[in-house]
Amino acid sequence: MAIDDRKQRVLRAIVALYALDGEPVGSGLLAEHFDRAVSSATLRNEMAALTKLGLLEQPHTSAGRVPSAKGYRYYLDNLLEPAPVSASVFAEIDRRFREMDYDPEHLAQEAAKALADLTGYAAAVTTPRSDDMCIAHFEVMQVGRGAAAVLAVTNAGGVRTRTARIESPLERGDVELAAAALNRYLTFRSAADVGFDTFEAVDAAAGARAQALRPIFSAGYTLLKEAGRSAIYLEGQQNLVRLGCEQSSYCSMLELFSDAQAVRRLIPRSERVTVVLGDELPGHTMPGLCVMARRYHAGGGLTGTISVIGPTRMQYRELIPTLEYFARVLGEHMAGTA
């Protein structure tokens, strides 16, 4: 769609003014924005034309105009010019990351909370993932007469844990035996590579204690299967309630961001910030909300996704460069290069 320069300036101004307080923009306010260089009558005509094109909506007969979903998409694709971000914002992001835990899962959760606090919206971060994610090392620790904790360290540096319940009491040397078998047969392999012959080899390595230790081996295999899955951390949901988002949109947002795989499928994992309007999400329609997302790199081919979820009228010009910087710093901390 091609619209002339004045209509573009009017649409850009209405997007900016509507973002300030969420109130429909009338011709009088718009005229003040243009320092009375354009008459209110002319602006009303332009607003009417933009409404006819589907780029603006009029909530009530006597009200001003607000951007439609179509108008926002036109603005995002054609008119958006990111604003410079103050050095103080970058300094605050750096300060928050210096206080975070370097474990990937803890870091992802803390980063999501920090981003939600900084923006005043909801934020989501997925942990790093790649197709060749695997377990680099297992540790087994006895935590009771009939229980053992199985710890798995991924090749991304993350740590996952499961508890295995043993029917008979553990004997001396059992944890060392189990750990040796797990490290020999289940490290640096994908779950798809593990078959019946692998379990036979694990049993053989455990010898007479194989049957007793199978719950530990099962826990190790479960951790291997989970290693390639992204975890997702959503923070700041209360901000959307405070901003008065629709209940149906809020519920759709919670459903979407409870499933890391759905996030990976529906949200573009772009090298640049991508804005997806809530009306554009198949199966998870969220009228009035949008998702601003970007992929981050955690080194070694590992990638994750960082997102801000807020009202369609949020401050795109300021948020986009903030999210770009936040994603870069998050990637550096995940990779251990910060």
Q: Where residue 36 sits, what CATH number does that domain have?
A: 1.10.10.10
Looking at residue 59, its pLDDT comes to: 84
Q: Which CATH number does the domain housing residue 213 bear? A: 3.30.390
Residue that is last in its domain, among 43, 62, 79: 79
61-65, 112-116, 322-326: least confidently modelled range: 61-65
CA distance 294 to 88: 22
189 shares its domain with 247: no
CA distance 117 to 129: 25
119 shares its domain with 246: yes
Looking at residue 259, its pLDDT comes to: 84
Q: Are 295 and 269 in contact (CB under 8 A)?
A: yes
185 shares its domain with 272: no
Q: How many domains does the chain have?
A: 3
Which tokens in the block code for residue 39? 């008459």
Looking at residue 34, its pLDDT comes to: 87
Average pLDDT, the chain: 90
331 shares its domain with 234: yes
Taking each helix axis from N to C end, the angle separating 87-98 and 316-335, rounded to the nearest 10 degrees, works out to: 30
Residue that is last in its domain, among 193, 227, 261: 227
Looking at residue 231, its pLDDT comes to: 83
Which tokens in the block code for residue 87? 């050095």
Residue that is last in its domain, among 182, 205, 227: 227
Q: Are 316 and 80 in contact (CB under 8 A)?
A: yes
Does residue 333 sit in helix, strand or coil? helix
Q: What is the pLDDT of residues 145-196, one digit of tens each?
A: 889 999 999 887 778 899 999 988 899 999 999 999 999 999 998 888 888 9
Write the single-letter amino acid at 40.
S
CA distance 152 to 227: 9
Q: Which residues contact 267 (CB under 8 A, 6 or more apart)?
A: 274, 276, 291, 293, 305, 307
- Residue-number span of the structural domain to which 112 is assigned: 87-129+230-335
274-294: average pLDDT: 90
196-206: average pLDDT: 93
The share of the chain scoring above pLDDT 90, in percent, equals 65
303 shares its domain with 326: yes
123 shares its domain with 259: yes
Q: Which residue's entry shows tokens 């009035």?
A: 288
Q: Which has more pLDDT, 300 or 47?
A: 47
264 shares its domain with 322: yes
188 shares its domain with 251: no
Which tokens in the block code for residue 81? 């010019």
- In 228-314, alpha helices (H): 237-242, 247-256, 260-266
